[in-house]
């Protein structure tokens, strides 16, 4: 059963009806907390546009249409008033709380990575402290203060406020330095390249266990060759195929929500960053379909 959406791979009409929805897709076009290149406020529309081709065939490698199992509503983009920036976090949190109260899970397109903080606050209100799987080139746990709007500090705040359980959380793909891990397990990009995808999946699953899991996917976890359209690109990152395999390896975890952030179309080329983002989001939807009972029908050696 599928509710329609502006999101191209939903293939149906736009709707704001959350009745019976398993997942609500929403955009948060906010990029006022970036520290380098702006433009990711246009990320939600770019991800939607790049998702068009995903409607052509059944999902790979599962061989099913996830929207035959999932009821998915596109809730459109949340209005963010740039002229009142201090109100933005509370407004995003309230927006998320409204969706979560309906019983739907959230798939959110940023916007810069700061939007993950109010989203996680809303999820923690419902589920308790969450296990965070953070795909990122950066730790985002640098020095913070309570009033700061900064896409590089909010996860330290989240740990200190008790909404993220660092002891069950993991940062995947990091390749920038901080003097402390603040309780997170760090699986750096060089480590993943050396040890491989299978060992990385094993480490992630062992870390989060049965906790409710929130996935925060910063597109700059990918190497700039695969995601040039982002605000703070760092060489040495994951390839698209590695990230897709890691997403598929989350099957069976208690996945409660996901954000896909930092896609900046002004710096993109041939939509390859937006395309990568759309595919990562689609993989999460496929995991939700599997959890609801969709049956894979793979073909060939996988």
Give the pair of three-digit tokens for residue 45.
């529309």
Give the pair of three-digit tokens for residue 195.
């040890």
Domain of residue 199 covers 31-36+108-291
Report if residue 184 sits inside a domain: yes
Name the packing angle between helices 240-248 and 197-208 (round to 10°).
40
At 3, the pLDDT band (50, 70, 90 cuts) reads very low
Tokens 């993989």 label which residue? 283
Report if residue 85 sits inside a domain: no
Q: How many CB atoms lie within 10 A of CB 3?
A: 27
For residues 192-205, one letter each, b for 16 or more C-beta atoms within 10 angstroms of the residue's C-beta and e for the rest, the string is beeeebeebbebbb
Report if residue 63 sits inside a domain: no
Query: Rounded to an integer, what distance in angstroms lies between the CA atom of residue 165 and that of residue 168?
Result: 6
Predicted TM-score (pTM) of this structure: 0.94
pLDDT per residue as tens digits for the range 229-245: 999 999 999 999 999 99
The predicted structure's pLDDT at residue 45: 94
| Adjacency order of strands within the sheet including 255-261 | 72-77, 23-28, 105-110, 255-261, 213-218, 131-135, 170-172, 185-187
pLDDT per residue as tens digits for the range 66-115: 999 999 988 889 988 888 888 999 999 999 999 999 999 999 999 999 99
**The pLDDT of residue 202 is above 50:** yes
Give the residues across from 135 on adjacent strands: 172, 217
Tell me the average pLDDT across 185-194.
Answer: 98
pLDDT per residue as tens digits for the range 114-154: 999 999 999 999 999 999 999 999 999 988 888 888 888 89
Give the pair of three-digit tokens for residue 6.
């502006």
> Distance from CA of residue 285 to its chain's centroid?
11
Residue 254 preceded by cis peptide, ω within 30 = no
Work out how many domains the chain is built from and give that number: 1
Report if residue 82 sits inside a domain: no
As a whole number, the mean pLDDT across the chain is 92
Report if residue 262 sits inside a domain: yes
Report if residue 96 sits inside a domain: no
At 56, the pLDDT band (50, 70, 90 cuts) reads confident
Report if residue 41 sits inside a domain: no
Residues listed for the chain: 302
The predicted structure's pLDDT at residue 15: 54
* CATH assignment at residue 142: 3.40.800.10
Report if residue 206 sits inside a domain: yes
The predicted structure's pLDDT at residue 199: 98
């Amino acid at each position: 059963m599928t509710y329609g959406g502006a999101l191209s791979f939903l293939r149906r009409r736009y709707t704001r009806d959350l009745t019976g929805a398993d997942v609500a897709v929403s955009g948060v076009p906010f990029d006022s907390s970036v520290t380098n290149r702006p433009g990711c406020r246009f990320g939600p529309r770019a991800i939607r546009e790049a998702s068009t081709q995903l409607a052509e065939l059944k999902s790979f490698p599962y061989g099913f249409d996830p929207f035959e199992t999932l009821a998915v509503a596109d809730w459109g983009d949340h209005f963010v008033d740039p002229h009142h920036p201090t109100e933005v976090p509370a407004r995003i949190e309230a927006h998320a709380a409204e969706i979560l109260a309906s019983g739907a899970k959230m798939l959110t397109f940023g916007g810069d990575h700061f939007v993950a903080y109010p989203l996680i606050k809303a999820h923690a209100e419902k589920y308790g402290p969450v296990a965070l799987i953070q795909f990122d080139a950066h730790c985002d746990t640098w020095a913070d203060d309570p009033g700061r709007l900064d896409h590089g500090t909010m996860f330290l705040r989240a740990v200190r406020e008790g909404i993220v359980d660092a002891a069950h959380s993991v940062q995947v793909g990091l390749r920038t330095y901080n003097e402390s891990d603040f309780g997170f397990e760090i699986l750096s990009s060089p480590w993943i390249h050396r040890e491989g995808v299978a060992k990385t999946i094993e480490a992630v699953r062992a870390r989060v266990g049965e906790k409710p899991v929130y996935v925060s996917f910063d597109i700059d976890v990918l190497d700039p060759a695969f995601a040039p359209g982002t605000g703070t690109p760092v060489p040495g990152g994951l390839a698209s195929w590695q990230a897709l395999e890691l997403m598929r390896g989350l099957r069976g975890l208690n996945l409660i929500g996901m954000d896909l952030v930092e896609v900046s179309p002004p710096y993109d080329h041939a939509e390859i960053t937006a395309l990568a983002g759309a595919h990562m989001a689609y993989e999460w939807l496929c995991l939700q379909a599997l959890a609801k009972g969709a049956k894979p029908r793979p073909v060939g050696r996988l």
